Chains A and B, each alone.
Chain A
Amino acid sequence: EAGVAQSPRYKIIEKRQSVAFWCNPISGHATLYWYQQILGQGPKLLIQFQNNGVVDDSQLPKDRFSAERLKGVDSTLKIQPAKLEDSAVYLCASSPRGASNTGELFFGEGSRLTVL
Chain B
Amino acid sequence: SQQGEEDPQALSIQEGENATMNCSYKTSINNLQWYRQNSGRGLVHLILIRSNEREKHSGRLRVTLDTSKKSSSLLITASRAADTASYFCATDGNTPLVFGKGTRLSVIA
Interface residues of A (CB under 8 A from B): 4, 33, 35, 40-45, 48, 55-56, 91, 93, 99, 102-110, 112
> Nearest-CB distance from A2 to chain B (Å)?
14
Contact of B43 among A43, A44, A103, A112 (CB under 8 A): A43
CA distance A91 to B43 in the complex (A): 9
The answer to whether A56 and B45 touch across the interface, beta carbons within 8 angstroms, is: no
Contacts of B75 in A (CB 8 A): none
Q: Are B96 and A33 in contact (CB under 8 A)?
A: yes
Contact B43 A48 (CB under 8 A): no
* B100 x A105 contact (CB < 8 A): no
**B98 CB-CB contact with A under 8 Å:** yes
Point out the residues of chain B lying under 8 angstroms from A104, CB to CB: 33, 45, 48
Q: List 7 tightest A-B contacts by C-beta distance, closest first.
A: A107-B42, A42-B99, A104-B45, A107-B43, A102-B92, A109-B42, A43-B99
A98 CA to B93 CA, complexed, in Å: 14
Instruction: Give the complex CA separation of A112 and B100 in angstroms.
Output: 20
- Contacting residues of chain B (39-73) with chain A, CB-CB under 8 angstroms: 40-45, 48
Please pick, from A40, A44, A56, the residue contacting B99 in the complex, using a CB distance under 8 A.
A44
**Secondary structure type dominating chain B contacts:** loop
Chain A nearest CB, measured from B59 CB (Å): 16
Q: How far is the CA of A56 from the CA of B97 in the complex (A)?
A: 11
The reply to whether A109 and B96 contact each other, CB–CB distance below 8 Å, is no
Can you report 7 residue pairs joining A to B where beta carbons are below 8 Å apart?
A4-B42, A40-B101, A42-B102, A91-B42, A99-B96, A104-B45, A110-B42
**Do A56 and B95 have beta carbons less than 8 Å apart?**
yes
Neighbour of B98 across the interface among A41, A45, A106, A112, CB < 8 A: A45
A102 / chain B contacts, CB cutoff of 8 Å = 30-31, 92, 96-97
Please indicate which of the listed interface residues B31, B48, B92, B99 has the most CB atoms of chain A within 10 Å of its own CB: B99
Q: Chain B contacts of A44 at CB under 8 A?
A: 2, 99
